[in-house]
Structure 1
Amino acid sequence: MPNEPSRLTCEQLSSFSPMDFLTPHYRQQLHASLNYLQRPAGTPLLRRGERSLAQYYLLAGKVSVEDGTGKRALEGGSPEAHLPLNPGPTNPVTVRAVTDVCLFAVEHHLLERLLSWSQEAAYEVSSLTDRQEEQAEDDWLTRLLATPLFGRLPPSHLHALLARFEYVEYQAGTTVVRYGEPGEHFFVIKHGRVQVGLPSASREQPTLVLERGDFFGEEALISGAVRSASVTMLENGELARLHRDDFVELVRPTLIPRISTQDLQRWQQREQRKHLLLDVRLAAEYRLGHLPESLSLPVASLRTQASVLDRSTCYVVTPEGGIRSELAVHLLNQLGFDAYLLGDDREAVA
Structure 2
Amino acid sequence: MSSAPLTPEQLSSFSPMDFLTPAYRQQLHAGLKYLQHPAGTQLLTKGERVLAQYYLLEGKVALDTGPTRQTIEGGSPQAHMPLNPGQSNPHSIKALTDVRLFAVEHQLLERLLGWSQDAAYQVSSLGGGMVEEHDEDDWLARLLNTPLFGRLPPSHLHALLARFEYLPVRAGEAVVTYGEPGEHFYVIKQGRARISLPQAYREQPTQVLERGDFFGEEALVSGAVRSASVTMLEDGELARLHRDLFVELVRPSLIPRISGTELEQLSHQGSRKYLLLDVRLAVEYRLGHLPDSFNLPVANLRTHADSLDRGTCYVVTPDGGIRSELAVHLLNQLGFDAYLLSDSTPQAA
For the criterion TM > 0.5, the same-fold answer is yes
CA deviations on 1:80-111 (whole Å, 9 max, x unpaired) are 22222111122223323222333333443444
CA distance in 1, matches of 2:34, 2:250: 31
Q: Choose from 101, 122, 128 the match for 1:126.
A: 122
Aligned position for 2:31: 30
| Residues 72/164 of structure 1: CA separation in 2 closer, same or farther (3 Å cut) | closer
The change in CA–CA distance for 1:340 and 1:221 in structure 2 (over 3 A counts) is same
The partner residue of 1:54 within 52, 55, 62 is: 52
The structural deviation recorded for 1:195 is: 0.2
- Residue 82 of structure 2 corresponds to which residue in structure 1? 84
Deviates most, 328-337 or 46-55: 46-55
Instruction: For residue 62 of structure 1, report the CA deviation from its aligned partner.
Output: 1.7
Cα displacement (A) at 1:243: 1.5
- Partner residue, 1:8: 5
Displacement after TM superposition at 1:58 (Å): 1.9
Q: Which has the higher contact order (CA 8 A, sep 6+)?
A: 1
The 8 Å contact of residues 53 and 105 in structure 2, kept in 1 or not, is answered as yes
Structure-2 change in CA distance of 1:261 and 1:171 (3 Å): same
Aligned mates of 1:243, 1:165 — CA distance in 2: 8
How far off its partner does 1:14 sit?
Answer: 4.4
- TM-score under structure 2 normalisation? 0.87
- Point out the more displaced range, 330-339 or 179-188: 330-339
Q: Structure 1 counterpart of 2:222, which letter?
A: S
**Amino acid in the other structure paired with 1:8:** P
- Aligned mates of 1:142, 1:127 — CA distance in 2: 11
Amino acid at match of 2:63: V
Alpha-carbon deviation of 1:7?
A: 4.0
After the TM superposition, list the runs of 4 or more consecutive aligned residues in structure 1 that deviate by more than 6 angstroms: none
2:347 paired residue number:
none
> After the TM superposition, which residues 198-217 of structure 1 pair with which residues of structure 2 at under 5 Å, given as runs?
198-217=197-216
Once the two structures are TM-superposed, the CA of residue 115 in structure 1 deviates from its matched residue by 4.4
| 8 Å CA contact 2:315, 2:338 repeated in 1 | yes
Partner of 2:136: 137
Q: Which is worse superposed, 170-179 or 141-150?
A: 141-150
Question: Does residue 1:272 correspond to 2:271, yes or no?
Answer: yes
Deviation by residue 1:177-221 (Cα, 9 ceiling, x = unmatched)? 111111111111111100000011000100000011111001001
The one-letter amino acid paired with 1:73 is T
Distance (Å, rounded) in 2 between the aligned partners of 1:113 and 1:154: 7
Change (3 A) 1:107 1:242: closer
Q: Is the 8 A contact 2:132 2:138 kept in 1?
A: no
Is the CA contact (8 Å cut-off) linking 1:54 and 1:272 kept in structure 2?
no
Superimposed CA distance per residue, residues 163-185 of structure 1 (whole angstroms, 9 cap, x where no aligned partner): 22221111111111111111111
CA distance in 2, matches of 1:270, 1:156: 33
SS at match of 1:125: coil
For this pair of structures, how many residues does the alignment match? 337
**Change in CA separation of 1:204 and 1:14 when aligned onto 2, cut-off 3 Å:** farther
Residue type matched to 2:266 in 1? W
Match of 1:95 in 2: 93
Deviation of residue 76 (structure 1)? 1.6
TM-score between the two structures when normalised by the length of structure 1: 0.87
CA contact (8 A) 1:173 1:233 kept: yes
Segments of structure 2 that go 5 or more residues without pairing to the other structure are: 345-349
Return the offset for 1:340. 0.8
Name the CA shift for 1:207/1:113 in 2 (closer, same or farther; >3 Å). Answer: same
Unaligned runs of 5+ in 1: 346-350
Q: Would you say 1:189 and 2:185 are equivalent positions?
A: no
Contact 1:35 1:106 in 2 (8 A): no
Q: Which amino acid aligns with 1:289?
A: G
Q: CA deviation at 1:30?
A: 1.2
CA displacement at 1:114 relative to structure 2: 5.0
Contact 1:276 1:315 survives alignment (8 Å): yes
Seen in structure 2, the aligned counterparts of structure 1 residues 25 and 214 have a Cα distance that, compared at 3 Å, is farther
Aligned with 2:70 (options 50, 69, 72): 72
Q: CA-to-partner distance for each residue in 1:3-38, whole Å, 9 max, x for gaps?
A: x4314144344443334527155224412xx14131
Equivalent pair of 1:60/1:76 in contact (CA under 8 Å): yes
Contact 1:63 1:97 in 2 (8 A): yes
The structure carrying a bigger helix percent of its residues is: 1
C-alpha distance in 2 between matches for 1:16 and 1:239:
40
Residue in 2 that maps onto 1:299:
298
**C-alpha separation between the residues in 2 aligned to 1:337 and 1:233?**
28
